[in-house]
Amino acid sequence: GLPAEARAEDRDPRVLVARVLPFRVGLLADRIAGITGVTEDQLVTPAILRPELLRQFARAELDMGDRVVAVLDLGRLLEAARA
């Protein structure tokens, strides 16, 4: 997470715990806007994702109306971090 002086809001960082076998990890986030359930037909192939480096770790993109968010391939991201 960002240092306290660089955060947009005066909040403590949050930790999102995820399990992607064989890993159980905690992801540090400065903000979590929410958790949204989606169906496969709402997901599209990553096309407009920036920066370009992030695209290799994206499984899909989701248009939420006011923004487009990446659906990360957490397994691929964790494997890359181990390398």
Pairwise CA distance, residues 15 & 1, whole Å: 10
pLDDT given for residue 29 in this prediction: 84
- CB-count exposure of residue 16 (10 Å: 0-12, 13-18, 19+): exposed
Pairwise CA distance, residues 13 & 33, whole Å: 12
pLDDT given for residue 40 in this prediction: 92
The pTM of this model reads 0.63
* Confidence at 3, pLDDT banded by 50, 70, 90: low
Within the chain, residue ranges assigned H as helices are: 52-55, 74-82
Round the average pLDDT of the chain to a whole number and report it.
Answer: 80
In this predicted structure, the answer to whether residue 14 has a pLDDT above a threshold of 60 is yes
pLDDT over 70 percentage in the chain: 82
